[in-house]
Chains A and B, each alone.
Chain A
Amino acid sequence: MEIKLKLNGKAVAGSVEADTPLIDFLRQKGCYSVKCGCDTSNCGLCTVFLDDVPVLSCSVLAARADGHAVTTLEGLQEEAADFVGFIADQGADQCGFCNPGFVMNTIALLRENPDPTDDEIRAYLAGNLCRCSGYEGQLRGIRAYLDSRKGKGAQNGN
């Protein structure tokens, strides 16, 4: 079947099968940031925005996206660049395979709640698994970014 959607702000058309998951369609369209980590809706690596809401693209039929807007990290480079350096300062990027999903969901968090507490950060990102970093460095990075935004001065590296 033919689908038409807005992908990262651009109108895109494509042919998919009824059971094609959105993640496969997105990777076919060159959005390689979208990663598959589990096949069971558990890991958060495939997080994209469907009409600005973070969802698991492994669990959305591409057909469902017909007529909707999909955003991947490819479309949010500037918004991401704003804070990912703080994650890098912690070395918390590590293998990087979970990073796009984590970055996407962090963007969603900060859009929804610009000044989250540590517990709110943990709760919102609970569905983003990471096997390398132990999570604490990601939290420090986000915290350092928030602090820098508040003008408290960057405390990254500590």
Chain B
Amino acid sequence: MATEKYQYVGHAMRKKDSMQLLLGKPVYTDDIVPRDALVVKLLRSPHASALVEEIDTSIALKVPGVVAVYTWKDVPRTRFAIAGQTYPEPSPYDRLILDRQLRFVGDPVAIIAAETEKAAAKAMRLVKVKYKLLPAILDMHDAKDNPVLVHPEEDWYPPCPVGGDNKRNLVASDVESDGDVEKVLADCDVVIDHTYHTKAFQQAMMETFRTYAEMDRYGRLHVISSTQIVFHCRRILSRALGIPKSRIRVEKPRIGGGFGAKQTAVCEVYPAFVTLKTGRPAELIYTREESQIAGSPRHEMEIRVRLGASSDGRIRALDLYTLSNTGAYGEHGPTTVGLSGHKSIPLYTGSLEAFRFSYDVVYTNLQPAGAYRGYGATQGIFAVESAVNELAERLGIDPTVLRDRCMVRQGMTMPAYYNEPASACALDRCMAHCREMFDWEHRYPVRDMGNGKVRAAGVAMAMQGSAISGVDVGSATVKLAEDGTYNLIIGAADMGTGCDTILAQMAAECLDCPVENIAVFGADTDVSPYDSGSYASSTTYVTGKAVEKACTELKGQICRIAADLLGCAPEDALFEGDHVRCGTDGRTVSMEEVAYKSQAGNTHAAESTATHSSPVSPPPFMVGMAEIELDKLTGEVKLLNYMAVVDCGIPVNPALARIQAEGGIVQGIGMTLTENVTYDHRGRPVEASFMQYKIPTRLDMGHLKVEFENSYEPTGPFGAKSIGEIVINTPAPAIAHAIYRATGVWHRELPITPEAIAMSRPEENA
């Protein structure tokens, strides 16, 4: 294995913050901010579509302890996007801090700032609002070209041309293709043509959205937020509040989970606005209900797949049309949809002759969607992998064997993936490995267990990317400290993933020192070098490479300083971990001596900052297999085993990579079986709490087993690709497949509830 030559990379080790976290130390936003901050609360719209006709705050303001109540009249009139994306953002500028027009149940109507939570809650009830109800669009099928407009405003602005038109309720629209898909489809022996539906599933990270703001000692706005994107956040706040970036500092402490939710500045503007207006520290903590109804969930998508194949199971053509529901605002709308095709179609590069991928992204009067692990790939892979399983079952070919014939393999160029090469691809080995580990041969056949219980299995493949090619930027600063230890400063955000540790492992590898000698700090816009942030499976791959570069540069600087001490030519000074050696005469100076020298009469910086971006986004690959026991009478599905093999290049920290995979798989199980998203007839979310929105407990997920098949990605640090997102993609199609095997019914909508299973009959699919 390629990792064996490394001392730290490729080795499991504890996260640097693990004991702090496990012993409950105060490290999260609400643990570290002053107790006397103003409590910020948002009065939210009870209507899916309405206009604030009149709003009277006078009584609310009389509540003792209430400091301010702001309405749409008080906020700047500049529209902005809260999606954490690189400028110019593909997401439209369609938001105001408070808008007179309310576009979903939960859209903020007023901001209340008070000394106590009770006072704020009381004031909230006393803000008098007269709403003018407007017609609402509650079904994404009705949105496009509906005369009812979610965003009729003239100042709606798309910074990027993505095919959107607010006068058509359209956020983005496009079509792309390679080859003549209709011609190939017409020539195919079999065409599978079905539509698959996935809902606006919630990240449901344990720490809800929260932000604290204060004026710092220089009179600047200092924001501490649970965010994955400190730099984007600063830019968003600057535009929304109308103040220069030099007056804003954004930092993140430890984050209680993100999964993409915190790649959107969901709540930052409100306390920041309060602090700017009042000059006082202010904190806003979303309740779980607010996180559920006004967060940034997955985009609901409906994907029609037309899959053409030969009778021997060669997938020849794929035609996808995705209808994506961005909800009331367009965050991540134009980009998530792309992954539904770009991260599903290329899986079949091995046999595909033609493809077409088209989409529309529409506004509705429902909760705005955002970024959730998998980011559109999850939806696309559920559709395409289900269609492939349907093909295999129809042809009577083992679905793993069928995939062997069609899958993308090392060295292929992927036309449906921007013509990028699969330079590191162990998907074939993942399949072989998983088949053996899972004992596919024995678990795939349906087994009747008596009393209506049936055991069955299903399979799916997945891919994702590693960062956004040509866009994402990662940077790292490495500094030498007096005793020869180092500081690693990053702008990426460890949200529990362990990237602080992973990046430190890379630095330790480069600098030939123990990982304990690398102190990591991130992320703070005043201190960290620029980083797009932690999203799009980018941190290990892009920021990791920046760490590698920064360390190489720092070693050069160290050698220059050491050369002064040794009195040798800089090119003769050799960096050897805890010392530098003069290559010509063998004399050495310790790293501590070099470090002290760097602080006395020295002109070479004992630090280095490097930046990286990648022109490609190498996909990780994965195969997942599910075994279930299904009760045909009640429709209950008991997941027995979920096994997966992942190719993430070289896993930098195998323990953390495995946990990423296991955590992602269980989230995937949740969206397949237990998590539902429904609205009442007025557009109110039903699953507005953990009492109704059921993420899996440890009794709902069976046994997990994850192993790896390594490949070596030449453009990644130490051969690494990504793992953060891909891991959520296989459970839905694999479990849906197993349910088909057990019942003879294909379920093409998630979640697949016991009722849907018990009340459907195979004939429906004939």
Contact = CB atoms under 8 A, between A and B. Distances in A.
Q: Do chains A and B directly touch (beta carbons under 8 Å) in the complex? A: yes
Interface of A: 28, 32-35, 37-43, 45, 72-74, 77, 80-81, 84-85, 87-100, 103, 122-123, 125-139, 157
A17 B35 CA distance: 18
Contacts of B703: 136
19 contacts: A37-B288, A37-B690, A85-B22, A88-B15, A91-B659, A92-B659, A93-B496, A95-B206, A96-B254, A97-B257, A103-B23, A126-B698, A126-B699, A129-B695, A131-B259, A131-B667, A132-B659, A134-B664, A138-B698
Nearest to A20: B118
Nearest to A37: B206
A43 B704 contact: no
A88 B23 CA distance: 11
B553 interface: no
B225 interface: no
Contacts of B21: 93, 95-96, 99
B689 interface: yes
Contact of B288 (A39, A95, A133, A137): A39
Interface stretch (B56-64, B602-610, B650-658): B650-658
A42 B206 contact: no
Contacts of A73: 23-24
Contacts of A100: 24
Nearest to A124: B698
Interface in B3-35: 12, 14-15, 17-28, 31, 35
Given A73-B23, A91-B12, A96-B22, 6 more contacts: A35-B206, A40-B288, A74-B24, A80-B23, A94-B257, A134-B662
A40 B690 CA distance: 7
A94 B691 contact: no
A84 B17 CA distance: 12
B201 to A, nearest CB: 12
A39 B689 contact: yes
Nearest to A119: B699
Nearest to A104: B24
Nearest to B667: A131
B204 interface: yes
The listed residue with most B CB atoms (<10 A of its CB), out of A34, A40, A127, is A40
B23 A38 contact: no
Contact of A133 (B14, B255, B659): B659
B255 A39 contact: no
A10 B203 CA distance: 39
A41 B25 CA distance: 23
Nearest to B698: A135
A28 to B, nearest CB: 8
B206 A89 contact: no
Contacts of A81: 19, 23
Contact of B691 (A32, A40, A80, A88): A40
From DSSP, what is the main secondary structure of chain B's interface residues? Answer: loop
The listed residue with most B CB atoms (<10 A of its CB), out of A38, A72, A134, is A134
Contacts of A74: 24
Contacts of B496: 93-97, 132
B23 A77 contact: yes
Nearest to B668: A134
Nearest to A84: B22
The listed residue with most A CB atoms (<10 A of its CB), out of B22, B204, B658, B659, is B22
B666 A91 contact: no
The listed residue with most B CB atoms (<10 A of its CB), out of A28, A38, A84, A128, is A38
B93 to A, nearest CB: 31
A106 to B, nearest CB: 10
A137 B698 CA distance: 11
A122 B23 CA distance: 21
A133 B662 contact: yes
Nearest to B258: A95
B14 A32 contact: no
B288 A45 contact: no
Contacts of B31: 32
Contacts of A45: 206
A137 B662 contact: yes
B753 to A, nearest CB: 19
Nearest to A39: B288
A86 B23 CA distance: 13
A89 B28 CA distance: 22
Nearest to B498: A91
B207 A97 contact: yes
Contacts of A139: 698
Contacts of A131: 203-206, 257, 259, 663, 667, 695
A100 B17 CA distance: 14
Contact of A84 (B19, B207, B690): B19
